[in-house]
Structure 1
């Protein structure tokens, strides 16, 4: 990519970001946009207070930046939960590590690259190469600057990662103590309940837990099929039974003369219709009481224990010789349960996961087409040589837009498909919690981004650049080939950071889709309340993006330091934007209790290893064997550091501390609060779609309507 193309892309994105943020500072102050930009705050107010919440329109244009800066960690925790705080800590980690990298690489490494003599022929295509390590001659002593920066950045990353892992693990432990009455502390979810002839699942569950957990077992609630189609089928069956079993002559009224049906004559039918409705209701009630619920039971149930410790022990025990039966895990919080997957047979989950794995591979293969197209647009000269019909494009005035801004824009548009597809895959896998489903989609998106956005763009960029000479060099020196050409891909990723990173922050602030729908509701449909749904934070979209930029920063910081200012701009604005959104827009209905940090830690370790491996290869190419060897040794240190962190902190993310649970149980028992907690526990999951397992034929008098959050 030539320098004018990069500057063109920068100009486009700066104009878009400044325009959107300026417009946001105006729109957020308008009273009719409160539900769009202050959903979190409005949800915390009482109904009578909402009419008085118009003071924000008087805040100056930069007021939201000041409030986002002044907010404490407790404020973020109160609005975004522990997951929101962990995500902000991820952004802070990136700011810290790349601030150190910027000081080292901009002031030490970049001058060495700039004054090197490695690029002999200065062509328009190699304008950006003079800022990279490719411009350093082989055997140059200036490579010690790159080696020094590599070691300092790695050591600082170790320290910061250790501190953050320790702090998040502490937050998880404090979370258990801070909310001692959570229903999930006393409840486990059992799936794979074995079928017994002549007995319902509820009876099987009662016998099993009464026999093996008699002292700690409290009660259970079965899970029933309650989907829309199932409810319609149940209603149809009930009405069919009512119609077939109710005598027709009972409701036949003799009519003396024909009656013209109209508004005035409908009163004549009021009494008979009321009697019909009353009798049908009585008949339905009788059928409810007499119906056998065994056919509607799923092989899943919520089991309540008298103590937290008993629930923890049960969740870690294998209940039978067949590990596919009596599978027990901690139950999600009531608001976190994803009811649609509770009735999926446990034995079918491995088939679903296999199909999802195959689907992910096919989706990745399909995504190679737009990635190859994007790299073709970047290498416009090579594209002309491959397709003669396109010759002359490089001489047009708009070539800088084609090779600079258009490729990253096209890739960004295709990337928009990734989060919803990954969310669909995570749903098909059978996750029983909404937070688990979102975390699974996040992990899948991270792998997809790392491979399709990072690695495949490197490979295709290399292929386009060496298309005519690849058959001559062969594949035996592929490492050397990649080492030579990886720095040349930095300009493309700079434009990608601007288009996908900077522009995404402006889009996140504006919320254009919700804003337009709100205007339609208020000014077209004339609804006073307007439109503004309460969304949960899109971790499956934002966490992969931040970690991808983290990978780009580590990989290119010592190879092409000019990428660091673009990253710093993104992370600095991300810090303010995401804090503002958590404080004002998004509402927290559920979270993973900080489980995103191990994912972020593993991604950062992977990025460190990629940085060190690429540096080792390039040092070897530059005939700098000592640095190459020590860079390879650094990979071993990184692996050992990761292993140490996993052994020290990861168990705290997979389990609860037995000491804390026992002390909480003793405190509740001594203070007399235990019975009160247990009495509320029995109804905690009832209203979310389950029915009492102690009385399998007793239907709830009112069905709970699940309000699904927008994800």
Structure 2
């Protein structure tokens, strides 16, 4: 049953009201000096002057939209310099989507009246009608208006090809420029080596690495750093840092509030001592244990069969990282080393032979999770259908009576179901990230890209297809076993769910993006710190977080999928997406420049994943219209649409060969030019310095009893774009 337009308007009213409220709250809260650490953490980190913060005057409590203008004025060059290429690519996804759906919205201005005027002469009582009257479902079988639909499908497809090609080409150029301008970094000269063969008697893994690379890479190999299993030391260092924090907090307290405790067991006996003295003694004892554990790891041969090998130049590293080292492809396996801050050290101790087993295990877990998720998703579908709720035999009579009240049905169908779906999906990305870590990738960026891919498939499965098809699990299995029925089934079921996705767009975007910029969680935490821990508001301890690409990008791709599939079927949907992407662009541009601190830099490696998912969405749209024309006109007309999926596959294959290699490999040409340029600039000393102990396990670095100012989580993770990683 399709949602009435009144239900859609109810959802729009609620979400627009929430969006306005959140944006007004942000406008006021961001002007308060006490909230600088929440809304301008990156500016404080770099000691930028915050002119937008004011003292508590009447003006500071008056809402304004100045932040929107300031965010919009940031140029691509400023984003690249401040946050790196990954952040710029992320924003360009919003930009690309805005252009694409602006075209679709303009086309919709023609298609919507075309559908509605088939059976309506005037828009009387439009708010009580089904939204189906504004979709392709309103056309009669064999109507000549389908030829307009036919032309629209071709028009959108070619617009998408052009926009995607231009974007891929532009981002590829920016990646090459970015790599060319990057200053020397350890990962540009380093290769991660795994599956080192078992050493013969009297030799160590380190000896094996030295002999192998000296023999087979004699002109470029310089040194190596073995990987050690130092996880137990990490836990000790964590306790050490917590003790340092506790001592620092104690020192801020008034001496009269620090109650002395007895030195004996549980404070039951012995002389009374000051808490700071007691904690300092524990800190010194733990410091000695950490130093001893580090000595044992480094000098008692606790290395594992993995190492980071460094080379004299980038060309040598590229040859080693991108070639097979031994006759047995399962030994001496090489790959580009992640940049030091991107390394996920626990996974380096995972045996290379275990990786594929872990991948299979995680794949099964993700599949089972997806299947199990259909149960709560079916519940959400039930909530969104007022007739199902009324006819459920366990439903209390009082609830049935309430559902008959004016406006209640619109609220339940138009807003409640999408709110429940958004709540159910909130916990999925962290779970998928944990599973991606279990798979064994050596870098955090790889884990997040894997988690993003899993989350997109999760959204495309239970959220999109199950929501669209709205059938039992057994029906879906039967449906999938007959591929010939797929276009016909999509053609009949997709148009009926347009209003659900419109409401979902508003719930997660129109209200979700303002909630993102408000940072309600960090705001509450900041208030608790100031009022409970008495933290100095003028010198707050900054806790900066990185942008959760693995959570946000799949959501964007889902709505691109929805938008492309529904652009012609339900032409009133693209304007909703236009608002979604325009608002998201401004919000995340503001967050990238003022709030989020990059945790790594991959040089735009998210883009191929984004591009491929958009191409898949375009392919699904075209397959859907093969079914629509087959059921609504004739097989002959349907055959005229078949060239489009073929063109999409050819376009994808071209991009795979022309652009994709730039994002996964480094050419001998570019690395040789970069090496020659560094030599010409006399940067050999800088290169040598950047390689010194770059890949020593963090737990094996010296631990100081007194924390230096730079030993905090406020250190910039990305100094500047020109000093970022090559890989």
Distance change (3 Å), C-alpha of 1:622 and 1:352: same
Q: What is the distance in 2 between the residues matched to 1:123 and 1:701?
A: 71
Deviations 1:302-321 (A, max 9, x none): 11100110000000121222
Instruction: Name which of structure 1's ranges 605-614 and 661-670 shifts more when overlaid on structure 2.
Output: 661-670
CA distance in 2, matches of 1:205, 1:102: 60
Query: Match of 2:348?
Result: 342
Cα distance change, pair 609–231 in 1 and its aligned pair in 2 (3 A): closer
1:292 to 1:65, Cα distance in 2 relative to 1, 3 A: closer
My pick for the range that moved more, 385-394 or 548-557, is 385-394
1:504 aligns with 2:504: no
- Indicate which of 61, 69, 73 corresponds to 2:64: 61
- Offset of 1:663 from its aligned partner? 1.6
Q: Report the equivalent of 1:641.
A: 651
Residue correspondence of structure 1 range 483-562 to structure 2 within 5 A:
483-528=491-536, 529-530=539-540, 532-562=542-572
Match of 1:135 in 2: 138
| Counterpart pick for 2:78 among 75, 84, 96 | 75
Q: Which residue of 2 aligns with 1:87?
A: 90
Report the counterpart of residue 204 of structure 2 in structure 1: 200
Match of 1:410 in 2: 420
Change (3 A) 1:213 1:383: same
Contact 1:219-1:682 at 8 Å conserved across structures: no
Change (3 A) 1:288 1:490: closer
Deviation at 1:520, TM superposition (A): 0.5
Instruction: State whether structure 2 residue 499 is matched by structure 1 residue 453.
Output: no
1:351-395 CA distances to partner (integer Å, 9 max, x unpaired)? 111111011011111210111111112222145446475674552
1:24 is the counterpart of 2:30:
no
1:432-482 alpha-carbon deviations (Å, 9 max, x no partner): 11111111111111111111111111122x569x99xx99xx999675454
Match of residue 372 from structure 2: 366
1:658 aligns with 2:656: no
Q: Contact 2:487–2:623 at 8 Å: present in 1 too?
A: no
Are residue 14 (structure 1) and residue 16 (structure 2) matched? yes
1:625-663 deviations in Å (ceiling 9; x for gaps): 454222221111111111111111011111112212112
Deviates more, 1:381-390 or 1:86-95: 381-390
Match of 1:319 among 316, 325, 330: 325
**Whole-Å Cα distance in 2 between the matches of residues 288 and 493 of structure 1?**
55
Is 1:428 the equivalent of 2:434? no
Moved more, 380-389 or 10-19: 380-389
1:654-683: CA deviation from partner (whole Å, max 9, x where unpaired): 111221211222233344322441243123
- Whole-angstrom distance in 2 between the partners of 1:123 and 1:300: 68
Looking at structure 1, the residues matched to 171 and 115 of structure 2 have their Cα atoms a distance apart, in angstroms, of 39
CA gap 1:598/1:288 in 2 versus in 1, 3 angstroms: closer
Q: Residue 345 of structure 2 contacts residue 697 of structure 2 at CA under 8 Å; is this kept in 1?
A: no
CA drift at 1:79: 2.4
**Secondary structure of the corresponding residue to residue 226 of structure 2:** strand
Question: The residue matched to 2:446 in structure 1 has which SS?
Answer: helix
1:395 paired with 2:397, answer: no
Q: 2:358 aligns with which of 332, 352, 375?
A: 352
1:34-45 map, 5 Å: 34-45=36-47
How far did 1:287 drift?
9.7
Report the counterpart of residue 621 of structure 1 in structure 2.
631
Q: Which residue number corresponds to residue 588 of structure 1? A: 598
Residue number among 304, 307, 312 corresponding to 1:301 in the alignment? 307
Gaps of 5+ in 1: 236-259, 265-269, 692-699
Measured in 2, the distance between the counterparts of 1:600 and 1:333 equals 23
Contact 1:200–1:294 (CA under 8 A) maintained in structure 2? no
Q: How does 1:456-471 map to 2 (within 5 A)?
A: 456-460=466-470
Q: How big is the shift at 1:73?
A: 0.1
2:573: which partner in 1?
563
8 A Cα contact 1:191 1:328, kept in partner: yes
Question: Larger Cα Rg: Structure 1 or Structure 2?
Answer: 1
Q: Distance in 1 between matches of 2:443 and 2:355?
A: 15
Residue deviations 1:535-567 (CA, integer Å, cap 9, x gap): 111101110111111011001111111111211
After superposition, the C-alpha distances for 1:376-426 in whole angstroms (9 at most, x for unaligned) are 122221454464756745524422222221100110000101110111111
Cα distance, 1:610 vs structure 2:
1.1
Matches within 5 A, 1:573-612: 573-612=583-622
1:557 partner SS: helix
Change (3 A) 1:118 1:645: farther
